[in-house]
Amino acid sequence: MDYDDVLKNVGQFGRFQKYILALIAIPCMISCWQSFLHAFIGFIPPHRCWIDNCDNLTSSYKEAWLNATTPYTRKDGVYMPDQCEHFVFNYTDYTDVCPPKHLKTTVKCSKYKFDDSEFSSTIATEWNLYCDKQYLVSLAGSVNLAGGFVGSLLMGTIADRYGRKTAILICLGFLAIFGVSASVAPSVVFFMIARFCVEAMESSLYYVSFVLVMEFIGPDKRVLVSQIIQLIYSFGEMTLAGIAYLVTDWSYLQLVTSVPALLFLVFYWILPESGRWLLAKGRTDDADKIIQKMMKWNKCLLKDETVQYGTVQSDSTPKPLESTSTSDTDTLFDSTKHSYSMIDLFRTPRLRLRTILLMLCWFLNVLVYTGVTLGATSVAVNSAFLSFFLSGFVEIPANLLSIFTMSYFGRRITLCGSFALTGVALISIQFVPNSPDYSWVLLLLTLLGKFGSTVGNSVLYLFSAELFPTVLRNSGLGLCGFISTIASTIAPQMQIFSRVAESLPYIVFGIASLIGGFASLSQPETLKKNLPQTIEDAENFGR
């Protein structure tokens, strides 16, 4: 009896699985908080030069005397005080007059005053990262994402070799340590190093948690549960907006979103290891204990059967796997004799092609998802908190729709359809007249693109987890996470195309989505199919 058949007998989504899902929910939200935290702590508020004789500790960003001290520039159709220069003042006759007499020339700011109406402090205001130093804010974000490269590769391998539970505990512990360190950073360099380490842990925490839950879920309930996890992540985005609204100081915000990870180190005692992973590693006795506990919680029975590697047999005495060959290929297919790494994803032809195409789909979808989000979140509202909240909220109907489409039409068709919807919506933006009267059409198409890419994002997590074999599942998802991090790093740079034409970035995103749609069609359908356990299973899957 296959492990998925065991789950069908003892409960595909019973009390035991709901318990696991409840335990994992908050760590998934913590992962979301850390992933998007830079949007708030790295926010660069409107700012201007500090004017001697006029500014003091109680002065505001906008003052009546600004017209006489600071040149104004047009930004987004609104005249704002110049952020980096002020007039050269003549103090020959008056040294304490506000506003002082000025010449027509300007000079760069030596000190700044920022608009604190939304944030009391950010890393930009903490270390004066304005104007010629403003690049350090984006550099901090890029360094933050670079940590995801390391985490995706490292923790994916650890999860496959030493267990999902072990990887989750490592991520939670070090995320809290480095998160607290970032909150008390004495310099921007120290901050970047700490946030690099935070992202290395955060990027893997979600992937490994997702896999752990899914490996306890039966085939008929995987779509529902995968989308529940996606909804939890979307809820994390919305709650982060609320937390940031209440905690407007960047250091306290970093602290508040990091410390809760320490509380979940109790997982050592209350979180079970993946039974599927235990079987794949030949630890049948430990796996049997998990199955017995699942049966008790779900009030189901599996009469006179003991779990073996990949099967459940009526004979209670474990029997070793028979092997007629000691070749490298046979050892590769037998997880009890082989220690796996990401390289094994490329050793066999069908799994190699499947892995490459999944990497392409992840890259293209995340590129579009991130790029559209950066361009759409501030379209309808001016509040950073409300904009971020809406960008998370739009994902809820997308995730709910994907539950229906994946269950009835399958993963492959849903993924292809989401790419097609996104591509058509974004390419259509070039036909919208550049006029305020049509701004609602631009907003609608942009949100439709975000909607489609969110559906694609939801499908890819589940689809990839089902296509990779158990012995390489976390390594596969870790590799895809690595590729997606590269895509999210590149996405902001796509705005450079807007210098040629404002709609050109959306055209690029649209074409990328259509390419992803064609790539997804070559994958086998996994709807109501048993998951592959070994590389041999993966090679035969879909034939």
If asked whether residues 417 and 479 sit together in one domain, one would say yes
Cα 533 to Cα 278: distance, rounded to the nearest angstrom? 11
For residue 155, what are the contacts with CB-CB under 8 A and spacing of at least 6? 167, 170, 171, 200, 201, 203, 204, 207, 208, 474, 478
Of 90, 115, 140, the domain-final residue: 115
Cα 347 to Cα 342: distance, rounded to the nearest angstrom? 10
Residue 121 DSSP one-character state: B
- pLDDT of the residue at 476: 87
* Radius of gyration of the CA atoms of the chain, in A: 27
Cα 153 to Cα 151: distance, rounded to the nearest angstrom? 5
If asked whether residues 297 and 234 sit together in one domain, one would say yes
If asked whether residues 108 and 134 sit together in one domain, one would say no
Lowest pLDDT segment from 78-87, 95-104, 422-431, 519-528: 95-104
Q: Give domain status of residue 319, yes or no.
A: no
Q: Phi first, then psi: what are they for 107, rounded to 5°?
A: -140, 155
Residue 146 near residue 201, CB atoms below 8 Å: no
If asked whether residues 233 and 351 sit together in one domain, one would say no
Of 64, 95, 115, the domain-final residue: 115
CATH number at residue 402: 1.20.1250.20
Cα 35 to Cα 32: distance, rounded to the nearest angstrom? 5
Q: Phi first, then psi: what are they for 110, rounded to 5°?
A: -105, -15
Q: Mean of the pLDDT values across residues 450-473?
A: 88
> In this structure, how many other beta carbons lie within 10 angstroms of the beta carbon of residue 193?
17
Q: Is the pLDDT of residue 363 over 90?
A: yes
Of 78, 94, 115, the domain-final residue: 115
- pLDDT of the residue at 498: 65
For residue 489, what are the contacts with CB-CB under 8 A and spacing of at least 6? 142, 145, 146
Q: CA distances (Å), 108 to each of 49, 84, 116, in order?
A: 8, 6, 21
Element (H, E) at 112: strand 112-114
Q: Which residue has the tokens 């701004």?
A: 439
- The residue type found at 145 is L
- pLDDT of the residue at 321: 32
If asked whether residues 163 and 241 sit together in one domain, one would say yes
Cα 255 to Cα 264: distance, rounded to the nearest angstrom? 16
> In this structure, how many other beta carbons lie within 10 angstroms of the beta carbon of residue 300?
14
Number of domains in the chain: 3
Please choose, from the candidates 111, 46, 261, 101, the residue with its C-alpha nearest in 3D space to the C-alpha of residue 174. 261
Lowest pLDDT segment from 19-23, 129-133, 194-198, 511-515: 129-133
- pLDDT of the residue at 422: 94
The whole-angstrom distance between residue 351's C-alpha and the CA centroid of its chain comes to: 25
Q: Give domain status of residue 458, yes or no.
A: yes
Q: Give domain status of residue 423, yes or no.
A: yes
Q: Give domain status of residue 161, yes or no.
A: yes
Cα 222 to Cα 426: distance, rounded to the nearest angstrom? 30
If asked whether residues 508 and 479 sit together in one domain, one would say yes
Q: Mean of the pLDDT values across residues 485-503?
A: 73
- pLDDT of the residue at 324: 34
H helical segments located in 267-383: 267-270, 275-280, 284-298, 328-333, 349-376
Q: Give pLDDT tens digits for 233-249.
A: 889 988 998 999 999 99
Q: Across the chain, what does the average pLDDT equal?
A: 81
Instruction: Kindly write down the DSSP assignment for every residue of 68-106, as one continuous string.
Output: GTS-EEEETTEEEE-SSEEEEE--SS-SS-SSPPEEEEE
Q: Is the pLDDT of residue 339 over 70?
A: no
**45: cis peptide before it, omega within 30°?**
no
Cα 113 to Cα 49: distance, rounded to the nearest angstrom? 6
What is the pTM (predicted TM-score) of this model?
0.75
If asked whether residues 385 and 488 sit together in one domain, one would say yes
If asked whether residues 39 and 61 sit together in one domain, one would say no
SS3 call for 107? strand
If asked whether residues 166 and 198 sit together in one domain, one would say yes
Higher per-residue confidence, 379 vs 504? 504
If asked whether residues 140 and 223 sit together in one domain, one would say yes
Q: Mean of the pLDDT values across residues 317-331?
A: 38
Q: Give domain status of residue 316, yes or no.
A: no
If asked whether residues 245 and 278 sit together in one domain, one would say yes
Q: Is the pLDDT of residue 326 over 60?
A: no
Q: Give pLDDT tens digits for 31-86.
A: 989 988 888 888 888 888 888 778 888 888 888 788 778 888 766 556 788 888 88
Q: Give domain status of residue 202, yes or no.
A: yes
- pLDDT of the residue at 309: 43
The domain in which residue 274 lies consists of 10-45+118-302
Q: Give domain status of residue 496, yes or no.
A: yes
Provide the β-strand partners of residue 49. 112
Please choose, from the candidates 274, 448, 387, the residue with its C-alpha nearest in 3D space to the C-alpha of residue 36. 387
Provide the β-strand partners of residue 312. 307
Q: Give domain status of residue 310, yes or no.
A: no
If asked whether residues 388 and 247 sit together in one domain, one would say no
Q: Mean of the pLDDT values across residues 525-532?
A: 83
- pLDDT of the residue at 281: 85
> Percentage of residues in the chain with pLDDT exceeding 90?
24
Q: Which residue has the tokens 């094994």?
A: 344
